[in-house]
Amino acid sequence: MTFREAVEATQPPVRESYCQGKQAMENRHRQLVSCQDPARLTGSIALDDVLRQQKPSDSRWDYGLGYESANGNEQAIWVEVHSATTGEVSTVLKKLQWLKDWLNAEADQLRKLTERSNKEFRYVWVASSGVHIPGHHRQAKELARSGLKLKGRLQLP
- The per-residue pLDDT for range 45-75, each reduced to its tens digit, is 999 999 999 999 999 999 999 999 999 999 9
- The per-residue pLDDT for range 16-32, each reduced to its tens digit, is 999 999 999 999 999 99
What pLDDT sits at residue 137? Answer: 92
Rounded distance between C-alpha atoms, residue 151 and residue 157, angstroms:
15
85 sits in which H/E element: strand 74-85
- The per-residue pLDDT for range 75-117, each reduced to its tens digit, is 999 999 999 999 999 999 999 999 999 999 999 999 999 999 9
User: In terms of pTM, does the model score above 0.85?
Assistant: yes
Identify the bridge partners of residue 12 per DSSP, sorted by sequence position.
Answer: none
Closest of 144, 77, 147 to residue 116, by C-alpha: 77
125 band by pLDDT with thresholds 50, 70 and 90: very high
